[in-house]
Amino acid sequence: MKKTVFIIVTVLISFCGQAQEYKNTFIPQPESVVMQSGGFKLGNTTQVFISKSMYADLKPIVASKMSSDNGLQLDVKSGRVSSKSNYISFEIVKDKKIQSEGYILEVKPSQITIKATDYAGLFNGFQTLRQAIPMGSKGETAIPSMIITDNPRFHWRGVLADVSRHFQTKEFLLKQIDVISSYKINTFHLHLTDDQGWRIEIKKYPNLTKKGAWRAGRTGIAWWSREAATAEEPKTVGGFYTQEDLKEIIAYAKVRNVEIIPEIDVPAHSKALIAAYPYLFCYDKVPEGVNFEVAVGGKAPDNALCAGKETTYAFLEDVIKEVAALFPSKYFHIGGDECNKSNWKKCPHCQKVMKDNNLKDEEELQSYFIQRMHKIVTAQKKVMIGWDEVLSGNGVKGATIMAWRRGIHTPEIKAPREGYPTIMTSYLHSYISRVQGPMFMEPEGPLSVLPLSVVYNHEPVPSELTAAEAKRVIGNQVSLWGEFTPTESHFEYMLYPRTLASAEVSWSNPKVKNWERFQDALEFDHFARLERDKVNFSKSMFTVYPAFAIDQLNNEAIVFLKTETVGYTIYYTLNGEDPTMAEGTKYMGDFKTTPKTLLKAGLFNEKGELLSTITEIRLK
């Protein structure tokens, strides 16, 4: 029998005429949920009151979501409550128990109140209220009485979208902002430039989008097998955001408590930039065999800017000024990762800078470059963010670090120990460009698996840190790199539900997290919410992972089946038929069968419903 880990209460509502069963399926899990007797009757007669200072921004969101979620046309008013019962109020208060972005949501039979100290808290409280309303209800419905007290663990709760490798439209980004904000993610990091495309309009340098935003088509050819483009080929794949597009995205995100972070990735990952303005490359005379076309995929050699030419810094200062003026965020991401320095070693300009500045090697030259970027960024009154490679050489004090590498590199420990504010985005736990189920069953992607449960069970703060060092961990982020996401549907498939898992890691106190509760919340509630909002998502969490070995001595196949979920049952067949609970064999542990047999296996809930795609593999 499947163990139920939900909080279940019985709610008696007079207008319903019968008892209702309610399950706590909140994502992210709040700090405290206290259920009480009775419930609130939500319907078209319910009035809504919003504090005057928050009314203009919050009203359209509340009205539109109540309409689209539940078919309700509510009367939303500004100012103090003027009704005695059946109302929802949004109130700004002074309360030390409520942190920035936190809230208290109280549902009583006569009223619902959301209290917060800022707009972000009211917005987040409303997202929790949306989840408290039973999924699928239209018109009048019952919301059980409860008190929810909730505060965020981290104030950076991020998602990176790589729109350089494959351009995604403005409308698609707006849709994602709507979805991620409903799960209290408050940072949308746009990777706007890379070898395969420059995606932001820079008025002073129009060739960045005229040439840098477009590449030759290689559709249908595996990413790492693509041949470089020639100068004569038509360049038809790509796109870019005008500055007006980005202003619209920023404004849309702001009222949804999402901050847009721009990334201009330098000095490496700059093939599209170099293709647009070749004079930024190391050599004055281009060596034979160097290709200055926008990369089409795979490796992109000769993609580093010259670190020795003053023209490089003047150009980037112009770009950074334009981008910084466009984005209100106090943060500016300059990349700084994966720089191949082979051209720097042969470049007379780079070698002269090294000599003039007593730099012992090219690692210190990268530090010199990053420190120049830091001065430019701080002159725009921004905080510079860099990938953890910027720690090499002499580092760059005053920057914020995104710690992605693990293993022989330990930036998750080094950065906070050396005093850097640090955002964790571990490639082992948070790079959701990796496939999320058995590799032979998933769409094309890197040859490694990042299951939903690994994202969910990740602890961003290393145990090696002291309490003081741990306070420098300011957030957590998942990153969706775009090599293998050419379509909107595939992009969403990779985002969800792993982004929801990261949302709970980033928001919830670890003490209230529970993997089984989370997986059940997805199955019973949130998959339906994503379907309602026309969001594509993966059910790979329910896929059966097969493993087998061939015992040649005894001519037997030894089979082992596994799933990352808890409380469900695997059924399998060996006769070529699809398994069901009635016709399949219940998996009880590893078993032996004949080699070359066709194995089919599926995961079933207690109702006998197949939860995901059937795993099919020949045992040979």
- SS3 of the chain: helix, strand, coil, percent, to 5: 30, 25, 45
Hunting for tokens 């981008």 — which residue is that?
A: 323
The Cα-based distances of 239 to 142, 192, 465, 485, 499 in angstroms read 47, 11, 43, 15, 26
Please check whether residue 545 is in contact with residue 563, taking contact to mean a CB–CB distance below 8 angstroms.
Answer: yes
Task: Report the C-alpha gap between 59 and 47 in whole angstroms.
Answer: 12
What the block records as the tokens of 277 is 């303005």
Separation in Å, CA 500 to CA 355, 503, 505, 543: 50, 5, 9, 18
User: What three-state secondary structure class fits 273?
Assistant: helix
Question: How far is Cα 409 from Cα 399, in angstroms, rounded to an integer?
Answer: 19
Enumerate helices (H) and strands (E) in the chain, giving the number of each.
17, 28
Report residue 145 as tokens: 């009485």
Phi, psi of 475 (to 5 degrees): 180, 180
**Which one of the listed residues 166, 191, 269, 458 is annotated catalytic?**
269
Catalytic residue check, 194: yes
Q: Report how far residue 151's alpha carbon sits from residue 154's, in angstroms, rounded to the nearest whole number.
A: 9
Residue 254 DSSP SS3: helix
In contact, 200 and 262? CB cutoff 8 Å: yes
Question: Which of 21, 227, 338, 464 is the catalytic position?
Answer: 338
Strand ranges, E, within 281-380: 331-335
Tell me the one-letter amino acid at 191: H
Q: Where are the beta strands (DSSP E) in 58-116?
A: 75-78, 87-92, 103-107, 111-116
CA distances from 556 to 531, 551, 595 (A): 44, 5, 6
- What span, in angstroms and rounded, lies between the C-alpha atoms of 399 and 416? 12
Strands 331-335 and 383-387: parallel
Other Cβ atoms within 10 Å of 310 Cβ, number: 11
Token pair, residue 355, equals: 């000599």
Do the beta carbons of residue 249 and residue 262 sit within 8 Å?
no
The three-class DSSP label of residue 598 is strand
Strand locations in 257-348, DSSP E? 259-266, 331-335
Calculate Rg over the CA atoms of the chain. Answer: 27
103 and 150 in contact (C-beta within 8 Å)? Answer: yes
Q: Distance between CA atoms of 435 and 578, rounded to whole angstroms?
A: 25
Query: Residue 316: enclosing H or E segment and its boundaries?
Result: helix 310-326
Contact between 477 and 388 under an 8 Å Cβ cutoff? The reply is no
Q: Which of 91, 162, 194, 442 is catalytic?
A: 194
Element (H, E) at 237: strand 237-238
Contact status, residue 42 vs residue 110, Cβ threshold 8 Å: no
CB atoms within 10 A of CB 236: 9
Q: Which residues are catalytic?
A: 194, 269, 338
